Chain A
Amino acid sequence: MSSDLHGLVAHQFDDMEQQREAATIGMWAFLITEVMLFGGMFMCYTVYRTLYPEAFQAGSHHLNIILGTLNTALLIGSSLTMALAVHAAQNGHRKQVERLIVATILLGSLFLAVKAFEYTGKWQENLIPGPNFAPAEPIPHLQIFYALYFVLTGTHAFHMVIGIGVMVVMLVMNRGGKFSKDYYAPVEMAGLYWHFVDIVWIFLFPLLYLLGRH
């Protein structure tokens, strides 16, 4: 093992391999906690969709499917750039890593911008759950659909914001020359997280926008 590599192994680990294995298991275990976090919300969704199918259909119809589709494309695109960034990091191409992570951040930010635009529309239509909830045509229990819509997409957007923060850190670390062919675990872990957040959207999009639409 070269001596400069040795400095990258934290004191509690014996070697790089052990450290990488720990990071990987830790990240996957963390992602399981995230699955359970969203799982609780999906449970609520399932229960209320079963109880109030009409309200949920009406809600799905009212969401803007074009913006939803656009956002899905943006996120899938960002997953691609992220996967390429990890690949570039594995091969030690610092310039490429930088470009690809910047692209990921841009696509993620665009997603959030579209989301913000959608939220504003809902605000103007008085569709924010709470005392001021007043849809144009009153459908019983529509509020519960919107409550779940905002909780689910809001939690997802929150994860996107964190993800973008993590990407900025990766960018700084990459600039500082922290990564090499031998050490790129942080990019890999950040990638796992980013893909996870994308996959959550892949579930949210059909559940909220598509199901029951005809």
Chain B
Amino acid sequence: MNAPGTVKERNFINADYGIKSWLLTLDHKRIAILYLLSTTFFFVVGGAAAVLFRLELLTPASDLLQADTYNKMFTIHGVAMVFFFLIPTIPAVLGNFLIPLMIGARDLAMPRLNLASWYVFNLGGLLALMGIAGGGVDTGWTFYTPYSTTYANSQVILTALGAFVSGFASIMTGLNFIVTIHTMRAPGLKWFRLPLFVWAHYATSLIIVLGTPVVSITIVLVALERLFHIGIFDPALGGDPVLFQHLFWFYSHPAVYIMILPAMGVVSELITCFARKRIFGYKFIVASSMGIAILGFLVWGHHMFVSSQSIYAGLVFSVLTMLVAVPSAIKMLNWTATLYRGSISYQTPMLYAFGFLGLFTIGGMTGIFLGNLGLDLHLHDTYFVVAHFHYVMVGGMVMAYLGGLHFWWPKITGRLYPEGWAKLSAIIIFVGFNFTFLPQFVLGYMGMPRRYASYPDEFQMLNIFSTAGASILGFGYLFPMIYLTWSLFRGKKAGPNPFDAKGLEWTVPSPPPTFNFTETPVVTEEAYDYPI
């Protein structure tokens, strides 16, 4: 309670009250919080499905889940996690909240479009959930034809429609970021003074804008094929199912970079803040973000080495895949060089950043294995692939997201999270993650295929490890949900800049007022003006 006579400071949270003030808000910060709730919900849905199929995989036989149910579970997991968590979360939550603050603007350029995107996103989510509730889907999140169009006896259309609709939310966010970053930077904030988080989101938005429409029309074609059998993807009618794979991966491979680029942006902010050191090679990081955005569009064929794609196309895609590793490696080098002789403090966001560095490196390096034509023949569609992309997605994106969420939590809520609990759960998540997915590399290398409910007995030991790890990981994720909620009410007041970080977002009160800045800031220096 305030002492009598003091005026409570106005911020975006207490600016207005009531459910309507949230549901009709145009404030990017409130919309970010709405998105936080939605994406967390889908993370829980996807996680729950994972719990079920990991339990099934404890034993070699298909006993807890029938094969059919198992297929539906991993599809729910994939659809919820990819379309409704990994792709939207960092841009729509952290990006939405932070980009206007970081560039000294009062809001995004198109606030109504921003709110609309949240509604469209939830509509897409609702359609996908209806698909799940109405019987589920068993095609995997990739909806491969002709299975999805001719043979699958499940709710393909509703679920695919959910992905289709949520794609528009993604496009709206991407457009908004591009326009905002182009037109609304504060005076003096030149392009090469932008925080790397903003650059990463700019690159991400380009991918969203260029890629998403292609998958949208592909989903429409799948729906038409399934409903009317028009022949486009049906080999029996002269259609080419591999064309579907081309169109699908033309978006869905770059989508991997939609997931990881914002995460890299977060890590750039965390490393430089907690090393108290100016980032090493700022322009190289910028260039590598843009490089990833461009090269990312040229490698989709590496998903199709065994899909009857021409061997020469395979060769080219293989080489290009090696090439896309270069910009990621540049970033890795720059982050490591930033740490060198830095004054490092091991607070929770930094622990997550370290987790990212290690796990993403493993994820990236195993990607090189898979990009190799010969090796991929052996590893294709095995647990090696599953482990690889979970190291990139969970080890990369989720680690960075949690790091970023902790880092900016005081800014968003005005409260500090409990450091001890936060560190403990960061360590639990790291340990649980490795326990879950390291064994899967071995399983895949031994030849265990993905997407089966049962497996030969000799794979059981490693599967038990993996399931045990998943339980640890699951608990690890519960902790932040609990203590962050707790901190809303009981956390210490944060003040404007608890981490002594650089950047315009730390110059305003926590939580920021509705229009962010009372006076438009004027930027006179480079980003990351840290002491070392």
A123 contacts chain B at the CB level, 8 A cutoff = no
Docked complex Cα distance between A155 and B224 (Å): 13
Which of A62-70, A99-107, A140-148, A192-200 makes up part of the contact surface? Answer: A140-148
Which residues on B sit within 8 Å (CB–CB) of A26? 109-110, 175-176, 178-179
- Tell me if B520 and A41 are in contact (CB < 8 A): no
Can you report 14 residue pairs joining A to B where beta carbons are below 8 Å apart? A10-B111, A11-B515, A22-B110, A26-B110, A29-B175, A32-B210, A33-B213, A36-B210, A36-B212, A37-B213, A37-B216, A37-B217, A40-B214, A150-B230
Interface string of B158-200 (1 = CB under 8 A from A): 0000000000000100011011101110000000000000000
Which residues on A sit within 8 Å (CB–CB) of B246? 43
Q: How far is the CB of B388 from chain A (nearest CB, A)?
A: 27
Docked complex Cα distance between A38 and B214 (Å): 8
Q: How large is the interface on A (under 10, 10 to 19, 20 to 34, 35 or more residues)?
A: 35 or more
Which residues on B sit within 8 Å (CB–CB) of A147? 224, 230-232
Which residues on A sit within 8 Å (CB–CB) of B109? 12-13, 22, 26
Q: How far is the CB of B212 from chain A (nearest CB, A)?
A: 7
A137 contacts chain B at the CB level, 8 A cutoff = no
Looking across the interface, which residue of chain B has its beta carbon closest to that of A131?
A: B229
Residue in B110, B231, B247 whose beta carbon sits within 8 Å of that of A144 in the complex:
B231
Which residues on A sit within 8 Å (CB–CB) of B110? 22, 26
Which residues on A sit within 8 Å (CB–CB) of B210? 32-33, 36
B238 contacts chain A at the CB level, 8 A cutoff = yes
Which of B100-108, B407-415, B418-426, B456-464 makes up part of the contact surface? Answer: B100-108
The 6 closest A-B pairs by CB, nearest first: A37-B213, A12-B107, A129-B230, A147-B230, A130-B228, A36-B213
Docked complex Cα distance between A25 and B239 (Å): 38
Q: How far is the CB of A208 from chain B (nearest CB, A)?
A: 15
Which residues on B sit within 8 Å (CB–CB) of A11? 106-107, 515
Q: A22-B110, A150-B230 are in contact. List 12 more A-B contacts (CB 8 A).
A: A12-B106, A12-B109, A12-B111, A22-B179, A22-B183, A22-B184, A29-B175, A32-B209, A40-B217, A143-B238, A147-B224, A151-B221
B240 contacts chain A at the CB level, 8 A cutoff = yes
A40-B218 contact, Cβ under 8 Å, with A25-B179, A33-B209, A147-B230: yes
- Tell me if A144 and B213 are in contact (CB < 8 A): no
Which of A44-52, A75-83, A114-122, A165-173 makes up part of the contact surface? Answer: A44-52
- Tell me if A29 and B179 are in contact (CB < 8 A): yes
Which residues on B sit within 8 Å (CB–CB) of A21? 182-183
Please provide the chain B residues from 214 to 253 with a CB less than 8 Å away from any CB of chain A in the complex.
214, 216-218, 220-221, 224, 228-232, 237-240, 243, 246-247, 250
- Tell me if A33 and B171 are in contact (CB < 8 A): yes
Q: How large is the interface on B (under 10, 10 to 19, 20 to 34, 35 or more residues)?
A: 35 or more
Looking across the interface, which residue of chain B has its beta carbon closest to that of A36?
A: B213
Looking across the interface, which residue of chain A has its beta carbon closest to that of B113?
A: A26
B211 contacts chain A at the CB level, 8 A cutoff = yes
Docked complex Cα distance between A33 and B210 (Å): 6
- Tell me if B230 and A143 are in contact (CB < 8 A): yes
- Tell me if B175 and A44 are in contact (CB < 8 A): no
A47-B240 contact, Cβ under 8 Å, with A29-B209, A143-B231: yes
- Tell me if A18 and B247 are in contact (CB < 8 A): no
Q: How far is the CB of A25 from chain B (nearest CB, A)?
A: 5
Q: How far is the CB of B332 from chain A (nearest CB, A)?
A: 31
Docked complex Cα distance between A143 and B217 (Å): 19
- Tell me if B237 and A143 are in contact (CB < 8 A): yes
A4 contacts chain B at the CB level, 8 A cutoff = no
A14-B179 contact, Cβ under 8 Å, with A22-B184, A33-B212, A37-B216: no
Q: How far is the CB of A210 from chain B (nearest CB, A)?
A: 22
A53 contacts chain B at the CB level, 8 A cutoff = no
Docked complex Cα distance between A131 and B234 (Å): 13
Q: How far is the CB of A14 from chain B (nearest CB, A)?
A: 7
Which residues on A sit within 8 Å (CB–CB) of B216? 37
Which residues on A sit within 8 Å (CB–CB) of B212? 33, 36
Residue in A18, A37, A140 whose beta carbon sits within 8 Å of that of B184 in the complex:
A18
Docked complex Cα distance between A22 and B185 (Å): 12
A34 contacts chain B at the CB level, 8 A cutoff = yes
Looking across the interface, which residue of chain B has its beta carbon closest to that of A30?
A: B175
Which residues on A sit within 8 Å (CB–CB) of B106? 11-12
A44-B243 contact, Cβ under 8 Å, with A22-B184, A29-B175, A36-B214: yes
- Tell me if B231 and A12 are in contact (CB < 8 A): no
Residue in B107, B111, B183, B238 whose beta carbon sits within 8 Å of that of A140 in the complex:
B238
Which residues on B sit within 8 Å (CB–CB) of A135? none
Docked complex Cα distance between A131 and B179 (Å): 46
Docked complex Cα distance between A112 and B178 (Å): 34
Which residues on B sit within 8 Å (CB–CB) of A25? 178-179, 182-183
Docked complex Cα distance between A151 and B183 (Å): 36
A39 contacts chain B at the CB level, 8 A cutoff = yes
Which residue among A40, A129, A141, A150 has the maximum number of chain B CB atoms within 10 Å of its CB?
A: A40
Which residues on A sit within 8 Å (CB–CB) of B520? 14
Q: How far is the CB of B354 from chain A (nearest CB, A)?
A: 36
Which residues on A sit within 8 Å (CB–CB) of B250? 40
Docked complex Cα distance between A195 and B176 (Å): 23
Docked complex Cα distance between A147 and B171 (Å): 27
Docked complex Cα distance between A155 and B100 (Å): 35
Which residues on A sit within 8 Å (CB–CB) of B239? 144
- Tell me if B179 and A144 are in contact (CB < 8 A): no
- Tell me if A144 and B107 are in contact (CB < 8 A): no
- Tell me if A52 and B183 are in contact (CB < 8 A): no
